[in-house]
Amino acid sequence: MTILLDDLYEGKIIPNNENFLNNPKYKETVDQYYAMYEHLYSALDKNCKRIFDDLLDIKCKLEDIECLEYFKYGFSLSYSFMLDSLEMIKKQKK
């Protein structure tokens, strides 16, 4: 466990960068997104394009915050599971 924590601390493990890019469902959804984006973007005038880009920037910021909070919650939840498991093991040994 110490090696895993050391690697996490030193940046050798980056949980949110695990390779999901080869997931067929992800790839299909990305393709759909960019096709729709290009279709919509080409129909907008210059001012609407700027507003749309600003909206997407804000949406990305929101998603970054959400992902971080989900990660922290998942990490703390898994830690709680680990503590509960250790407590169960201690009780079984008594």
- For the four alpha carbons of 29, 32, 37 and 40, in that order, the dihedral sign comes to negative
What confidence tens digit (pLDDT) does each residue in 45-79 have? 999 999 999 999 999 999 989 988 887 888 888 88
What confidence tens digit (pLDDT) does each residue in 24-50 have? 999 999 999 999 999 999 999 999 999
Interacting residues of 26 by C-beta distance below 8 A, sequence separation 6+:
20
Give 18's pLDDT tier (boundaries 50, 70, 90). low
| DSSP alpha helix (H) spans, the chain | 2-9, 24-43, 46-93
Indicate the SS3 state at residue 10.
coil
pLDDT of residue 85 exceeding 60, the answer is yes
